[in-house]
Amino acid sequence: MTNIFKIYDNGIVANNNAFIEIFAGEIHALAGENGAGKSTLMKILYGLEKPTSGQIYLNGHEVKITSPLVANSFGIGMVHQHFMLVNELTVAENIFLGQEITKNFMIDRKKTKEAVVKLAEKFGMSIDPEEKVGNLSIVQKQKVEILKVLARNAKIIIFDEPTAVLTPQETQEFFTQLELLKKQEYTIIIITHKLKEIKQICDRITIMKNGRFIGMFDVNALSEAEISRLMVGRDIVQEVNKPSRKRGDIVLTVNHLSKITSSGKMLLNDVSFTCRQGEIVCLCGVEGNGQRELVDIITGFDQDYSGQVMIKNQNINKKTIKQIRDMGESHIPEDRTLYGVDLASSIADNLISIALTDVSNGIFINKKRVEEVSEEGIKNYQIKCENAAQKVEMLSGGNMQKVVVARETRKTPSLLVANQPTRGVDIGAIEFIHKKIVDLSCDKTAVLLVSSDLSEVFRLADKIIVFYAGKIVAKITNVSEITEEELGLYMLGLKSMDEVQDV
């Protein structure tokens, strides 16, 4: 891909003379800060975006890719960070959705199943073709996405943050699958910010900044520090300085909390724990094991449960989200586009949406004060944008996340519920967000952190609470004495503490 420009109608330049060259049969990393243009460049390659100008060459011949269907015809596939699967359909139905195997104008279910089994065996991905996708684990869903791409005869496969929700064991299993694909001469492109994984699995790396090509390097020729310096222009401090903090009063109390669906499925099973002032308690587990349901209850999104949740000794049952926020709670939601931002509104409106009393004179909004608060957030969190009036929908995913974090941490809350606070965020912003979380805990904020990034867990957590099948299977107070691999065993339900004491 050469001379690629992508300029949106509002004048925003996403790609500025961008370039990338991929060798057949390699695993190639595409890295850079949020807003560097990585995802846009790959969306152009996959036909989801059309370039303003530029050329794409495949095996030496120029091609025009105008849609994902055209990309598929050229053997290009993409596995998105947020899976594009239909939970109500089976594995086989998802894999062949849109290109069904038919007989006499009807779907031939037997041949479809046989085709999935054959495909799965070829690539070493064990999967039940008749299982509904909604019943699968995250790593199994990822296998379905990969097989769906392979079923369309893709030889070039783009992955967007593929290990964001995987345990160490699942990540290694995924890497084994990538190596198998590479041996069979498939070409892999990975958009990622995880430097350790780049060093482990990738052959070469292309680094972008401000929409431009910075350089292409053999991964073996660079250290992690050198990669981070090329990405953000400075040295990144990987370790978080956590000063000794005095634990204060209990801010959050969860007592015998259970959640059962109308069909009788147990989503939360007798969960109890506390979180104190100046303490970072991390909930971790493979996604789908109760963390999301717990956060929904603590933040007021769900009021249908048994048990008790108290913030500063006040029961939050039947309280509205606003009433809970007024008790001193801030919330960085897991899904930024659904719950974190209003995409159609400006950055300024999003930043002041929970602070109207700070920017109003009685019933009127003080525009100057709005500008001050917005510019402060943009500057402090290095949000890449034209100005505060720019619509949030025009930001990269990582910069959207910065808007959410800037809003929720502008003031010191009593309780910060941070659900995947750095997902999809570049290493420079991760460093800043981690420091902000630690600073808040030093200011006596109780922090409830939910994270699937185990490096983040080990950097920040004072205590770790592990969930499996809606139940707490481990409470770890000596974080330095446990390894990522052992934590992964708890997360996968392969290990459990005999008796889980309150911490």
Per DSSP, the chain holds a count of helices (H) and strands (E) of 16, 24
Rounded CA gap, 217 and 269, in Å?
Answer: 49
In this prediction, residue 398 carries a pLDDT of 80
Kindly list the distances between the CA atom of residue 346 and the CA atoms of 371, 391, 403, 429, in Å, as whole numbers in the listed order. 12, 4, 11, 21
Rounded CA gap, 451 and 465, in Å?
Answer: 11
pLDDT of residue 106 exceeding 60 = yes
pLDDT tens-digit readout, 165-203: 777 777 888 898 899 999 999 999 999 888 888 999 999
Rounded CA gap, 125 and 127, in Å?
Answer: 6
DSSP assigned state of 259 = E
Q: Distance between the two ends of the chain, CA-based, in angstroms?
A: 54
Partnered with residue 216 across adjacent β-strands are: 206
- Model's pTM, two decimal places? 0.75
Of 238-242, 336-340, 369-373, 466-470, the one with minimum mean pLDDT is: 238-242
Structural contact between residues 348 and 370, judged by C-beta atoms closer than 8 angstroms: yes
Return the CATH architecture of domain 237-328+413-503: 3-Layer(aba) Sandwich (3.40)
Q: Confidence band (pLDDT; 50, 70, 90) for 230?
A: confident
Using the structure block, give the residue that is written with the tokens 């911490």. Answer: 503
Neighbours of 456 (CB within 10 A): 22
If you write DSSP's letter for every residue of 127-163 in order, what string do you get? --TTSBGGGS-HHHHHHHHHHHHHHTT-SEEEEESTT
DSSP assigned state of 389 = T
Rounded CA gap, 186 and 312, in Å?
Answer: 55
Helix/strand/coil percentages in the chain, nearest 5: 35, 25, 40
Identity of residue 27: I
In this prediction, residue 425 carries a pLDDT of 78
In this prediction, residue 89 carries a pLDDT of 92
In this prediction, residue 500 carries a pLDDT of 55
- Which residues 6+ apart lie within 8 Å of 124 measured at CB? 176, 177, 180
Strands 415-419 and 280-284: unpaired
Element (H, E) at 390: none
> Which fold is adopted by the domain 2-232?
Rossmann fold (3.40.50)
Q: Per-domain residue ranges for the chain? A: 2-232, 237-328+413-503, 340-411
**Mean pLDDT across the stretch 244-260?**
93
pLDDT tens-digit readout, 55-67: 999 999 999 999 9
pLDDT of residue 232 exceeding 80 = no
Using the structure block, give the residue that is written with the tokens 């991760």. Answer: 430
Neighbours of 493 (CB within 10 A): 16
pLDDT tens-digit readout, 402-431: 999 999 999 999 999 999 898 877 777 888
pLDDT of residue 503 exceeding 60 = no
In this prediction, residue 303 carries a pLDDT of 92
Which range in 55-59, 147-151, 335-339, 394-398 is most confidently predicted, on average pLDDT?
Answer: 55-59
Strands 463-468 and 2-7: unpaired
Rounded CA gap, 350 and 342, in Å?
Answer: 7
Q: Are 2-232 and 237-328+413-503 in the same CATH fold?
A: yes
Element (H, E) at 386: none
pLDDT of residue 371 exceeding 70 = yes
Neighbours of 499 (CB within 10 A): 5
DSSP assigned state of 391 = B
Cα-trace Rg, the chain: 24
Percent of the chain with pLDDT over 70: 98
In this prediction, residue 213 carries a pLDDT of 94
pLDDT of residue 123 exceeding 70 = yes
